[in-house]
Amino acid sequence: MTGGRQNNAVLADEVAPNTALVDRFEAVFMANYGRPPIPLVRGAGCTVWDADGAAYLDLLAGIAVCSLGHAHPALVEAVTRQVGLLAHTSNLFANKPAIELAERLVSLLGGPRARVFLSNDGATANEAAIKVVLRARAPLRHFVAAERSFHGRTLGALALTGKPSIREPFGPSALEVTFVPYGDADALEAAVTTRTAGVFLEPILGESGVVAPPAGYLRQARQVCDRAGALLVLDEVQGGIGRTGRWFAYQHEDVVPDVVTLAKGLGGGLPVGACLAIGAAGQALRPGDHGSTFGGNPVCCAAALAVLDTIERDGLLAAATAVGRRLTEGLRDGRGPADGPHRLVTAVDGRGLWLGVGLSRPVAAAVVDVARRRGFLLNAPVPDRVRLAPPLILGVEDADRFLSAWPAILAEAEQARGAGR
The rounded radius of gyration (Å) of the Cα atoms in the chain is 22
Mean pLDDT of 42-55: 97
Distance of CA 278 to the CA centre of its chain: 22
Q: 0.85 exceeded by the pTM?
A: yes
Task: Please say if the pLDDT value at position 56 is more than 70.
Answer: yes
- Name residue 241's amino acid: I
Task: Please say if the pLDDT value at position 3 is more than 80.
Answer: no
Provide the pLDDT confidence category of residue 343 given band limits of 50, 70 and 90. confident
pLDDT attached to residue 99:
98
- Name residue 340's amino acid: G
Q: Which residues pair with 357 in a beta bridge?
A: 348, 386
Rounded to 5°, the CA angle 127-65-297 comes to 60
Task: Please say if the pLDDT value at position 341 is more than 90.
Answer: no
Alpha carbon distance 340, 330 (integer Å): 11
Identify the sign of the CA torsion 354, 357, 362, 367: negative
pLDDT attached to residue 414:
87
Distance of CA 163 to the CA centre of its chain: 16
Which domains are seen in the chain, by residue range? 37-66+315-418 (3.90.1150.10), 74-313 (3.40.640.10)
Alpha carbon distance 99, 233 (integer Å): 23
Using one digit for the tens of pLDDT, what is the confidence trace for 121-145? Answer: 999 999 999 999 999 999 999 999 9
Provide the pLDDT confidence category of residue 31 given band limits of 50, 70 and 90. very high
User: Whose CA is closest to 252, among 261, 243, 264?
Assistant: 243
Task: Please say if the pLDDT value at position 86 is more than 60.
Answer: yes
Using one digit for the tens of pLDDT, what is the confidence trace for 322-334? Answer: 999 999 999 987 6
Pair 355, 381: CB distance under 8 Å: no
β-pairing, 40-44 vs 47-50, is antiparallel
pLDDT attached to residue 326:
96
Q: Where are the beta strands (DSSP E) in 166-287?
A: 176-180, 196-201, 231-235, 259-262, 273-278
Tell me, what DSSP letter sits at residue 295? T
One DSSP character per residue, 241-272 reads TTTTSSSSGGGGSS---SEEEE-GGGTBTB--
Residue 379 CA: distances (Å) to CA of 189, 193, 206: 34, 38, 11
Task: Please say if the pLDDT value at position 5 is more than 70.
Answer: no
Higher pLDDT among residues 171 and 118, named by residue = 118
pLDDT attached to residue 1:
31
Start-to-end CA span in the chain (Å): 39
Tell me, what DSSP letter sits at residue 205? B
Alpha carbon distance 82, 84 (integer Å): 5
Q: How many CA atoms within 13 Å lie on the side-chain side of 361?
A: 14
Mean pLDDT of 24-32: 94
Pair 304, 327: CB distance under 8 Å: no
Provide the pLDDT confidence category of residue 418 given band limits of 50, 70 and 90. low
Element (DSSP H or E) covering residue 216: none
Task: Please say if the pLDDT value at position 268 is more than 70.
Answer: yes
Mean pLDDT score across all residues of the chain = 93
Using one digit for the tens of pLDDT, what is the confidence trace for 357-380? Answer: 999 999 999 999 999 999 999 999
- By annotation, the residues acting in catalysis are 150, 235, 264
**Order of strands, sheet of 47-50, starting from the edge strand that comes earlier in the sequence:** 40-44, 47-50, 55-58, 376-377
Task: Please say if the pLDDT value at position 212 is more than 50.
Answer: yes
Q: How many CA atoms within 13 Å lie on the side-chain side of 358?
A: 8
- Name residue 256's amino acid: V
